[in-house]
Amino acid sequence: MVHQLAMYMIRGNLAAKLKKTLFIGGNMWRRPSVRIRCVDIARHLGCHHHLLAQSAAEISRDYSIFICVKPEMSLKELAKLSQLGTVIWDVIDVLPPHENISAYITSTSKVQNMITSMGSAFLIPHHHCNDQAQYRSSSCRTLGWIGHRHWCPDLREIEFKRYYIEGMTRSEVARAHLEFDIGLNLRAVRKKQESHINLNSGIKLINCIGFGLPSISSDEPAYHEFGSDCTLFTTLENCGPSIHSLQNDEALYHKMRSNCIARAPQFHIETIANRYKHLIDSVA
């Protein structure tokens, strides 16, 4: 009876904290990560979210835990926000502020290790968008690439479907993954590429895993961390043989497909949401 009472108290405390938690994000149409890490997660947890806020004055005093996902507030306004409660910063694409942040969320262990000197960092990977466990059944072995137009690789001699993420809804992203058989997790060479790679969340591979899609990937830390048995590592210049292997070696393709499907539950939104609950429950 005492144990049951303690459990009810823990659940009650978490429920109260969730009501006090507000996700604060930037423009979700220009920045898909805001939709994934702010809107999707907040809705799944039953929390509220506030997009495009530029000042702490816009934030309701009903909240005392703030999870920031590419917010549009200045450092001065973040300082004011920290006076209202606990500010938790989700590290995506760029290094976070040093001051007025109580804790950090990172999507990979590499980023977690990069910022340990700045404060507490909780590792919470991205979730995939295949909530309903839908899988494509095809023997065509078509190739597909999804991402920001800026990073689309120039593979002139290779035929593949392109999907530019800007403006796509979550359901459109899910449908896109049901239109090809092999994912291309490669990127064009750009300035500041090394920094972007180090901070990469691995979402392209995670979505491929979620849809049971074997893939071809750049040699990046996030991809090694989340699914080295679900993809073949290569470079833009030498991706041809890897593509040929997945298109023609049925045993290899189906082995990697099985690996993807087995790993997919690790990145389901329900699994990832539970990590957020643990984080929120740990806030004093």
| CATH classification of the domain holding 173 | 3.40.50.2000
Q: What is the pTM of this model?
A: 0.92
H helices of the chain, in order, are 2-19, 32-34, 41-45, 75-82, 109-114, 170-177, 193-198, 203-210, 221-227, 239-248, 250-263, 269-282
Mean pLDDT of 99-128: 96
Q: How many domains does the chain have?
A: 2
Question: Residue 213: which domain range?
Answer: 143-267
Please name which of 74, 73, 108, 66 lies closest in space to residue 91, comparing C-alpha atoms: 108
Whether residue 117 sits in one domain with residue 53: yes
Whether residue 203 sits in one domain with residue 274: no
In a domain, 189, yes or no: yes
Q: Are 150 and 166 in contact (CB under 8 A)?
A: no
In a domain, 133, yes or no: no
Whether residue 119 sits in one domain with residue 197: no
Whether residue 61 sits in one domain with residue 175: no
102 burial via Cβ count (<10 Å: 0-12, 13-18, 19+) = middle
Amino acid letter for position 66: F
pLDDT for 138 equals: 86
pLDDT for 9 equals: 37
pLDDT for 4 equals: 37
How big is the CA angle at 15 (ends 12 and 19), to the nearest 5 degrees?
A: 140
Give the pLDDT confidence of 29-76 residue by residue, as tens digits: 888 899 999 999 999 999 999 999 999 999 999 999 999 999 999 999
Q: Are strands 143-147 and 65-69 parallel, antiparallel or unpaired?
A: unpaired
Give the pLDDT confidence of 194-208 residue by residue, as tens digits: 888 999 999 999 999
Spatial separation of the C-alpha atoms in residues 47 and 245, rounded to whole Å: 45
